[in-house]
Amino acid sequence: MNLLTPSFSILQAEESDIPVLAELLTHSHGSEAIMAFIFPDWPRTDTILPYMTFRLQAKFAEPNSTFYKAVDDASGTILGMVCLTLETGEQVLDRKLTSAGGGFEPPPGFNWAFAGEVVQGLAKLDKYMVGKRHYMVSSLAVHPKHHKRGLGTKLMEHCHAIVDKEGLPIYLTAFPGAHHLYLKWGYEDVDYFEVDLNEHGRKYRGFGIYRSWAMIRKPGKELAN
Tens of pLDDT along 155-170?
999 999 999 999 999 9
Q: For residue 17, tell me if it sits in a domain.
A: yes
Looking at residue 107, what DSSP letter applies? P
Residue 112: what pLDDT? Answer: 82
Q: What pTM was computed for the model?
A: 0.86
Partner residues linked to 194 by β-bridges: 211
Q: In terms of residue numbers, what domain contains 137?
A: 8-217
Residue 67 has pLDDT above 80, yes or no: yes
Total structural domains in the chain? 1
Sorting pLDDT into bands at 50, 70 and 90, what band is 61?
very high
Question: What is the CATH number for 39?
Answer: 3.40.630.30
Residue 96: what pLDDT? Answer: 46
Q: For residue 70, tell me if it sits in a domain.
A: yes
Q: For residue 223, tell me if it sits in a domain.
A: no
Residue 44 has pLDDT above 70, yes or no: yes
- Residue 222 burial (CB count, 10 A): 8
As a whole-number percent, the residues of the chain with pLDDT over 90 amount to 48
CB-based burial label for 137 (10 Å; 0-12, 13-18, 19+) = buried
**Average pLDDT score over residue span 125-145:** 90
Q: How far apart are the first and last CA of the chain?
A: 20
Q: For residue 156, tell me if it sits in a domain.
A: yes
Q: For residue 47, tell me if it sits in a domain.
A: yes
Give 169-212 pLDDT, tens digit per residue: 999 999 888 999 999 999 999 999 988 887 776 565 557 888 99
Residue 3: what pLDDT? Answer: 39
